[in-house]
């Protein structure tokens, strides 16, 4: 099986390359393929003729999207559109990674795929447009909405917390945003469920369970045996250019009901990540 991965050198893409290493992989970054160029995407996919395309490419700098809307729209909306059109032309499935930011954050119970959408940020709006373009241009698609992604590759909340703790005795973290932290390696493994599946559609896929960023930070330090004073603050006390959903817990019920392998609890996933993180950290010091 020949699998094409866009965004192959980012956080999720790097994990996908490892998880799928026994397959024939076509790995692309932005320098290899500009997914915003429809003609180039069509030529590339037609020439390479993959059996499956996984789109892990995205403009994920949430705050920057507010002031770089055109660039975010090109990558997050037009890119998926171009990939969908190209996949349709050679009749292969497209796996696309989306986000909890397509919701407005007002609901207070876990979100299902058919709940009302209402992105509040430029990032969320561009990602939702990407979802729509895919649905309009191909029938063979898997849109996976995930949330609060962290992993070994690239910057993320867990790394930031641990690095801050090295130079700070106190760290302030918002406690009124609730979501499901998700280990990118677990998401990459989950994607392997789709390699031979025809159960197309939109799915929510996160590690199970939910917490606030404050609770997550406390758990990171607890599992890492790091002593630091974590101070809870409200979103209003810690303003950011882009609005964040106050509640964006995604319900994996449809994923589980479809017979795909269930995601583990976020606490277990964090423990597994920290073991690897600390192993590589010790390795770098030797």
Instruction: Pick the closest to residue 244 from 176, 188, 194, 193 (CA basis).
Output: 176
Torsion angle in degrees (nearest 10) through CA of 35, 37, 38, 42:
-70
123 counts as catalytic: yes
Q: Under a CB-based contact definition with an 8 Å cutoff, are residues 92 and 138 in contact?
A: no
Cα–Cα distance, 108 to 249 (Å, whole number): 9
What's the rounded Cα separation, in Å, for the pair 76 and 86? 16
Among residues 59, 73, 123, 277, the one annotated as catalytic is: 123
Q: Give me the active site residues, please.
A: 123
């Amino acid at each position: 099986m020949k699998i094409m991965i866009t965004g192959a050198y980012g956080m999720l893409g790097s994990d996908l390359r490892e998880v799928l290493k026994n397959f024939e992989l076509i790995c692309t970054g932005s320098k290899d393929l500009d997914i915003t160029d429809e003609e180039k995407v069509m030529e590339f996919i037609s020439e390479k003729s993959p059996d499956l395309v996984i789109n892990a490419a995205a403009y994920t700098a949430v705050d920057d999207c507010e002031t770089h809307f055109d660039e975010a729209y090109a990558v997050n909306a037009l890119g998926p559109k171009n990939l969908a059109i190209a996949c349709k032309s050679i009749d292969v499935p497209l796996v696309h990674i989306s986000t909890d930011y397509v919701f407005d954050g007002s609901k207070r119970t876990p979100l299902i795929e058919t709940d009302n959408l209402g992105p509040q940020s430029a990032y969320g709006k561009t990602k939702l447009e990407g979802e729509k373009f895919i649905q309009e241009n191909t029938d063979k698609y898997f849109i996976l909405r995930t949330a609060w992604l962290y992993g070994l590759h690239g910057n993320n909340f867990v790394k930031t917390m641990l690095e801050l703790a090295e130079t700070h005795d106190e760290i302030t973290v918002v406690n009124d945003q609730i979501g499901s932290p998700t280990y990118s390696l677990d998401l990459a493994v989950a994607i392997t469920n789709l390699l031979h599946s025809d159960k197309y559609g939109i799915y929510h896929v996160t590690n199970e369970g939910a917490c606030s960023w404050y609770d997550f930070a406390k758990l990171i330090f607890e599992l890492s045996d790091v002593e630091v004073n974590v101070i809870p603050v409200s979103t209003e006390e810690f303003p950011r250019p882009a609005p964040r959903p106050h509640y964006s817990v995604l319900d994996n019920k449809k994923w589980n009901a479809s017979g795909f392998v269930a995601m583990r609890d976020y606490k277990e996933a964090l423990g597994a990540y920290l073991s690897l993180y600390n192993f590589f950290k010790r390795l770098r010091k030797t």
